[in-house]
Chain A
Amino acid sequence: MKLVQSFIGCVLFVAAGATQAAAETAARAPDRIVTVRLANGLKLAMAPDSLATTVDVTLWFPAASRDERAGRTGLTHLFDGLLFAGTASHPSGDQSRMIESEAGTITAFSSSDFACAGENVAPGSLEMALRLEADRMQHLSLTPETFAAARVALGRERSASAARSAAGAGLRRLYAVAFPGHPYGRPAEGLEGDLDRLALTDAQSWWNARYGPDGTWLVLSGAFNPDSAEALVRRTLGAVPRRVLPRPEAPAPAPQSAERRGSGHIASSLPLLLVGWRTPSVRDGDAPALEALERLLTHREPSRLQRQLLADSVGVISVAGGMDLRRDAGMFYVIANVSPAADTAQVERAVIEAVESIGRDAIAPAVALSAIQQTETETLFGWQTPQGLGHALGLAACFEGDVNAATAKFEAVRKLTPEALHETAARAFVPAHRTIVWMWPGAPETAAPPEPPARRTTPKGAHAKRGRS
């Protein structure tokens, strides 16, 4: 187990008491992952790498769109922009100028389960990056002006994305049908109308509760000395006052026990079929196999799905798919552009068969092993840089509260077998977990007629006369 020996595996978790600084950092060694909980609640994970030349600094906040309360959705996404509103000592734009002038880069993004912000810098710029983050955490300029500007920008982004992508509209509808009543069923950018309802006080409350040190992970990876880095963290982010405020969390979505159907309209002339299968969450033991199954079905060109659905003349014009594993649930989805003249029932059957057959029929061992190898290879190549590794550790911290989960999951991938893939597929890709959504050409504003969708069927006898390509 080379990996465990050399780089990531030796994880020494020292979840010591908040005030036991010396004990907290005991047994730390270079090139190992060390976690430390600071007095203000900030959790620090350090993955020093003596072969790296950059340092990746990322803060993973307990700010998740799924925890936004009804009527006030979109706050987390709003902060992707608001994070750059500046402070009194570093006005808007200052942070990026300072980082970029030292050849560094900055980032900020969010999802249904977390929000992240950070920098990738030269080792000599680590202190600057930490000071800037500490300044932002304490003094972000949340004023009527910065709030209004961020809201306008988000509104523009939302309009643009709605106009751009029929697939995006289809996925929003698919999640709404698959997760009824749960925040996973609404888009990360918030529900229509909520943006207008958001007030500055909503943003301030959200900021105070979710973007402080308490409950936030700071992940450092790359070229740094862990002792001096920890000292720096203590002087900067460690000095930010704790602000413990209630952070209510949404419950996990209820399991799905029967097929669901939905429909809507898109600004397109081609019908769009989306089929999703609810899967276990990223924390479940099946997650490694699900990631390999995603590669089996959708990776390389042409993918298995493309080979089966495009070559079979069933009326599918293009097809794509993906696995979306979240903290409390997951979904594997297929998106198919369908010919207007196609037999929709036949298209549905073909798409479902292409996915569910891998749980019902045996997967060729060579094909399964190939998918497992791809998952393993891509994961490792992604971990080559501090940025890639830091991202993996941050996700593990957000999803499982433990940076070790990244390596544990990788080890689980390595142990996968073709049988395990087949068994996971058999559990996940079943009718009871399935959601089918048809998006019909039409004005989107009239969207979402209740299910079941109108079906177009092939005239009697037409099948027998169809040519095969």
Chain B
Amino acid sequence: MRRASCRVRAAGPGNSAGSHGLRRVALRRFKALALVALLVPAKPAPAALATGSVGATLVPIERTLPNGLRVAVFEVHRLPIVQIELVVPAGQTAEPPDEAGIALLVASMLARGTASRDAATFDADAARLGGTITVRASRDVMSMAGGFLSAHLAAGMELMSDAAVNPLFDDDKIQARRSLHLRTLRQLRRDPVSLADQEIWAAVFGDRPYGRAPLGTDSSIVSLTRGAAERFHRDHFRPDRTILVVAGDVSADSAFAEAATWFGHWEGHARPVAGSRAPARAARPRVRIVDLPNAPYTSVRLGAVLPGRGASDELPLSVALARFSGGASSWLQRPPVRRRLGGSVAGSLLELTDGGLYTFGATVTTDSAGATVRLLRDQLEEFLRHSPTDAEIAQLRRAASFGFLAPLETLGGLIGEWSSAASSGLPGDALPRAAERLAGVSAREIAEACARWLNPDSLIIVAVGPARSLEPQLAAFGRIEVVKVPLPPVPRSDSVAVTPETVALGRAILERALRAHGGVDSMLAIHDSVIDMKVSLGPPPGTMWGTLTQIRKEPGKMESVTHLQGVDVREVLNGEQAWSMMSSTQSAQDADSTEVAALRAGFGSDLPHLLLALRADGVRLAGGPATRIEQQEVECVEMRSARGEWSKYYFDAHTHLLSAIDLFQDAPGEGVAVARRLYSGYRTVGGLQWPFREVRLLNGENLRRFEVQSVKLNFGITDREFDRPGRMR
């Protein structure tokens, strides 16, 4: 079960995925006082925590349906609302080793349509109830949660039953989600902080399920098909190992009756899950350096394996670590430490079924990484030596109890805490037991638990940054393992041989494509256009969103207005001239030749110009063999222009619509792809098939994503639109 909480640092992907088990111990209220280790004689524990009537609500009434579904009901008649949560042992630990990432993929598909409701109908039905349904995957479990008026208990449960038992796994959505996960994974690899959060799990747990990245790997994500999703769902979404928890203004009998009605027909047996037993400590190299040669800074983590849920040391450790790193008044936030490490220092405690992980660390300049590791280790050592006073211990108990009980005030908090304990195999009265234990935890218990699990000399260390600089700094801390960040696969860029056959094939593919898009005449009839788009930079969670408006007028005039992060940039190409203006300066700046070239390239980047460019004089086309892009069968046309531009166009083999373009550096013999653009979401605009979605990748990594909001053709744009102004209009 979980402990008293500590609110800690921002999560990496491993920490943010789920509500169960993975929720970091929220030190939220626990900015408490003192504690620590040692040798203070244990005060007699209070007989019981004064949970009063709260204690009675912390133990549910339980029954098991004939199909094995465990149903737990908390009768909380305070307000006429109910919270329902289905907890399935279908987390990361249930994933087949070669299908890492499947849990997250399946979670993203649930409650997005079922066998009898398409996605829109499902959303509408949920909206009609005024409620919400969310699905999360964590390392141990997957949970589906819904909140409704108690009058809608039956309807809410029906909806959740449909979502859980009859999900719709749609090929297109799986492909889109898989692409998103792949791009997110690759983007995370560039970020030392996210990578450190992820790699500390790998360093501590190795190839056990807890050690895997929740998103999966490049190869595993690519292999995740609809069949894999259906198989994972079929193997694990079964009643016999699932827990259904209902809390709120409902009688246990009626909740059991509804559960039997909507989940009683659910059949089958779940596939057993092997679990993720924590490794013997110190069995692995102590220091893992993840080499990011060009990282501007280094992120370090120190980690320790902790016991799993329900262990006797669990709660004393959580109390100690809350004090050490759990908030603004914690040990690590004291002025002397903050002065040296800045605001990035933080800790995180996650307690799971088969073991916990405590990490703390900071993000610093690379040349201070070694000193930072030493400082953090020394701080833990000093903390463990510190003897708290009786008053500090008393205050710590109060804060620990408060920090534990406060989140239970909401139905969601109550269910989350209880089901987290229950799915780890703890008894139904785990919550009041934990509350009592926290209120009576002694200095001796804390000291002994710390001594067993927190040895500063055996902490696992992860540093993400330039290995060349880090290795000498970290050599003193133990055996070093250097890990290279896997590079994303680069599209093949072999040149297509130019023969009469390939030239003819290229032309044939192009003609089919031009017809499919609406014909050359329709494209040539466009005199001006206005395209409004949403644009995003980078994957979640750090995605920046903005808007982009492109106004084009033939020949060669374009105005591009970008609004991003509160800053507007207006760039204008007017024939051979170009200028730009930012909202912050309000004055126009003339563009240099590079910027003019970039704007010209931008002018030619809309669909008609991209396709018509293939018909331009001096362009050599060659048709290549059919291939696959993003799991899509495509025909390929290679284009080389008289100016040396080299690219490959890929058209859907069935619709003949543009799917992708690879833009290459002209480096004969190497053929390295530098940029890929993916097109999808086609709609009809002015008789043309126009892609409303474009993703731009560089060496496989997501750079930008465009979502077209509207396209207006032949709008009547005047030349004045492109005049260089004295000030903005």
A residues touching B (Cβ–Cβ < 8 Å)?
A: 2-3, 6-7, 49-54, 97, 100-105, 122, 124, 163-166, 223, 267-270, 300, 310, 313-315, 317-318, 337, 339-342, 366, 369-370, 372-378, 380-381, 383-386, 440-443, 458-462, 465-469
Asked if B71 is an interface residue, CB under 8 A from chain A, the answer is no
Q: Is the CB of B57 within 8 A of A51?
A: yes
Instruction: Tell me if B78 counts as interface (CB < 8 A to partner A).
Output: yes
> Which 7 pairs between the two chains have the least Cβ-Cβ distance?
A373-B130, A459-B716, A467-B686, A103-B29, A269-B568, A462-B716, A53-B405
Q: A53-B54, A268-B568, A466-B713 are in contact. Are A381 and B77 (CB under 8 A)?
A: no
Contacting pair B403 A373 (CB below 8 A): no
Chain A contacts for B549, CB-based, 8 A: 270, 317, 339-341
Which of the listed residues B52, B147, B395, B583 has the most CB atoms from chain A within 10 Å of its own CB? B583
User: Does B566 interact with chain A (Cβ within 8 Å)?
Assistant: yes
Contact present for A267 and B31 (CB under 8 Å): no
Task: Give bound CA distance, A453 to B463, whole Å.
Answer: 58
A100 touches B329 (CB 8 A): yes
Q: Inside 8 A of A374's CB, which chain B residues have their CB?
A: 127, 130
Contact between A340 and B561, CB atoms less than 8 A apart: yes
Can you name 9 extra interface pairs (CB under 8 A) apart from A317-B549, A459-B715, A467-B685? A102-B399, A270-B563, A341-B549, A384-B78, A440-B729, A459-B718, A467-B713, A469-B708, A469-B711
Contact between A53 and B408 (Cβ–Cβ < 8 Å)?
yes
- Would you list which residues of chain B between 574 and 619 have a CB under 8 Å from chain A? 581, 583-584, 586
- Whether the Cβ atoms of B547 and A2 lie closer than 8 Å is no
Q: Is the CB of A369 within 8 A of B128?
A: yes
Chain B residue with Cβ nearest A124: B398
21 contacts between A and B (CB under 8 A): A2-B77, A2-B80, A6-B78, A51-B53, A51-B409, A53-B405, A54-B409, A102-B399, A103-B29, A103-B399, A124-B398, A267-B568, A268-B563, A269-B581, A270-B561, A270-B563, A381-B147, A381-B410, A385-B410, A461-B716, A467-B713
Interface: B483 (CB within 8 A) = no
Beta-carbon nearest neighbor of B533 in chain A: A317
Q: Is B712 an interface residue (CB 8 A)?
A: yes
B709's contact among A7, A101, A310, by CB below 8 Å, is which?
A: A310
Complex alpha-carbon distance, A156 and B657, angstroms: 53
Contacts of A54 in B (CB 8 A): 402, 406, 409
What total of A-B pairs shows CB separation below 8 Å? Answer: 218
* B569 at interface by CB-CB < 8 Å: yes
Name A377's contact: one of B147, B403, B405 (CB within 8 Å).
B147
Determine the chain B residues whose CB is within 8 A of the CB of A124 once the complex forms. 398
Does B674 touch A at the CB level, under 8 Å? no
How far, in whole Å, are A87 and B551 apart by their CA atoms in the complex?
A: 60
Task: Tell yes or no: B219 within 8 A of A by CB.
Answer: no
Min distance, Cβ A298 to any Cβ of chain B, angstroms: 13
Q: Is B30 on the interface with A (CB-CB < 8 A)?
A: yes
Chain B residue contacts of A443, Cβ below 8 A:
586, 727-728
Contact of B547 (CB < 8 Å), options: A53, A318, A440: A318
Cα-based distance from A267 to B728 in the complex (angstroms): 10
B33-48 near A? 1/0 per residue, CB < 8 Å: 1000000000000000
A104 CA / B716 CA spacing, docked (Å): 62
Whether A51 lies near B54 (C-beta < 8 A) is yes
Closest to A301 in B: B123
In the complex with contacts A100-B329, A317-B549, A384-B411, A466-B714 CB distance below 8 A: yes
Q: Which of B32, B129, B563, B569 contacts A102 (CB 8 A)?
A: B32
Task: Confirm or deny: B269 has a beta carbon within 8 angstroms of a beta carbon on chain A.
Answer: no
| Given A51-B53, A339-B530, A377-B148: A270 touches B547 (CB 8 Å cut-off) | yes
Fill in one digit per residue for B406-449: 1 if any A CB lies within 8 Å of its CB, else 0: 10111100000000000000000000000000000000000000
Q: B710 contacts A315, CB within 8 Å?
A: yes
Closest to A1 in B: B80
For A440, what are the chain B residues with a Cβ–Cβ distance below 8 Å? 729
Query: In the complex, which residues of chain B have a beta carbon less than 8 angstroms from the beta carbon of A380?
Result: 79-81, 149
Residues of A within 8 A of B712 (CB): 313, 315, 341, 466-467
Give complex CA distance A6, B248 in Å: 13
Q: Is B652 part of the contact surface with A, judged by Cβ < 8 Å?
A: no
Please name the residue on chain A nearest to B52 by beta carbon.
A50
Q: Does B540 contact A (CB under 8 A)?
A: no
Given the complex, which residues of A lie within 8 Å of B718, measured CB to CB? 459
Contact bitstring B216-257, A, C-beta under 8 A = 1, else 0: 000000000000000000000000000000000100000000
CB closest chain-B residue, reference A366: B128
Most buried by B among A101, A366, A384: A384
Is B685 a contact of A102 with CB atoms below 8 Å? no
Is the pair B692, A384 in contact by a Cβ cutoff of 8 Å? no
Complex-state Cα separation, A315 to B336, whole angstroms: 55
Interface residues of B (CB under 8 A from A): 28-33, 51-54, 57, 76-81, 123, 127-131, 147-150, 152, 249, 327-329, 395, 398-399, 401-403, 405-406, 408-411, 530, 532, 534, 547, 549, 551, 559, 561-563, 566, 568-570, 581, 583-584, 586, 683, 685-686, 688, 690, 692, 708-718, 721, 727-729
Name the A residues within 8 Å of B727 (CB-CB).
442-443
Residues of A within 8 A of B709 (CB): 310, 317, 469
Q: Which residues of B contact A103 (CB under 8 A)?
A: 28-32, 398-399, 402-403, 406
Please determine whether A370 and B547 come into contact, CB atoms closer than 8 angstroms: no
CB neighbours (8 Å) of B566 from chain A are 163-166
Chain A residues near B328: list those with CB within 8 A: 100
Given A6-B77, A269-B569, A384-B411, answer yes or no on A50-B53 (Cβ-Cβ < 8 Å). yes
- Whether A270 touches B568, Cβ cut-off 8 Å, given contacts A103-B32, A469-B683, is yes
Decide yes or no: A341 and B717 within 8 Å by CB, A51-B57, A102-B398, A318-B547 being known contacts: yes
B79 proximity list for chain A (CB < 8 A): 2-3, 6-7, 380, 383-384
Docked-complex contact B131 and A370, CB < 8 angstroms: no
Q: Are B715 and A341 in contact (CB under 8 A)?
A: yes
- Inter-chain contact B130/A377, CB cutoff 8 Å: yes
Q: How far is the CB of A2 from chain B (nearest CB, A)?
A: 5
Residues of the A chain whose Cβ atoms lie less than 8 Å from the Cβ of B711: 313, 467, 469
Chain A residues closer than 8 Å to B123, beta-carbon distance = 300
User: Which of chain B's residues have a CB closer than 8 A to the CB of A318?
Assistant: 534, 547
From A312, which residue of chain B is reached at the shortest CB distance? B710
Q: Does A268 contact B583, Cβ atoms closer than 8 Å?
A: yes
Report the bound CA distance from A267 to B152 in whole Å: 48
Query: In whole Å, how far is A419's beta carbon from the nearest beta carbon of chain B?
Result: 18
> Measured between alpha carbons, how far is A106 from B715 in the docked complex, in Å?
55
Neighbour of A465 across the interface among B57, B530, B713, CB < 8 A: B713
Cα A270 to Cα B551 in complex, Å, equals 13
Q: Which residues of A contact B53 (CB under 8 A)?
A: 50-51
User: In the docked arrangement, what's the CA distance between A161 and B401, Å?
Assistant: 39
- Known A-B contacts A267-B584, A269-B569, A270-B547; A101 and B33 likewise in contact (beta carbons under 8 Å): yes
Task: Determine which residue in B77, B399, B530, B715 has the highest number of CB atoms from chain A within 10 A of its CB, and name it.
Answer: B715
| Assembled-state Cα–Cα distance A366/B125 (Å) | 10
- Nearest B residue to A441 by beta-carbon distance? B728
Cα-based distance from A171 to B81 in the complex (angstroms): 36
Least CB separation from A268: chain B residue: B568
Chain A positions within 8 Å of B562 at CB level: 269
A52 x B409 contact (CB < 8 A): yes
A3 to B686, CA, bound (A): 57
> Which residue of B is nearest A2, CB measured?
B80
A369 nearest in chain B by CB position:
B128
* Distance in angstroms between the alpha carbons of A102 and B583 in the assembled complex: 47
Whether the pair A469, B692 counts as a contact (CB closer than 8 A) is: yes
Q: How far is the CB of A151 from chain B (nearest CB, A)?
A: 26
Q: Determine whether the beta carbon of A269 is less than 8 Å from that of B570.
A: yes
Which of A163, A374, A466 has the most C-beta atoms of chain B within 10 angstroms of its own C-beta? A466
A459 to B714 CA separation, bound complex (whole angstroms): 10
Complex CA gap A340/B81 in Å reads 47
Chain A's closest residue to B708 (CB) is A469
B130 cross-chain contacts in A, Cβ below 8 A: 370, 372-378
Contact residues in A for B249 (Cβ distance below 8 Å): 2
Q: From B528, which residue of chain A is reached at the shortest CB distance? A: A341
Query: CA–CA, A102 to B729, complex, Å?
Result: 56
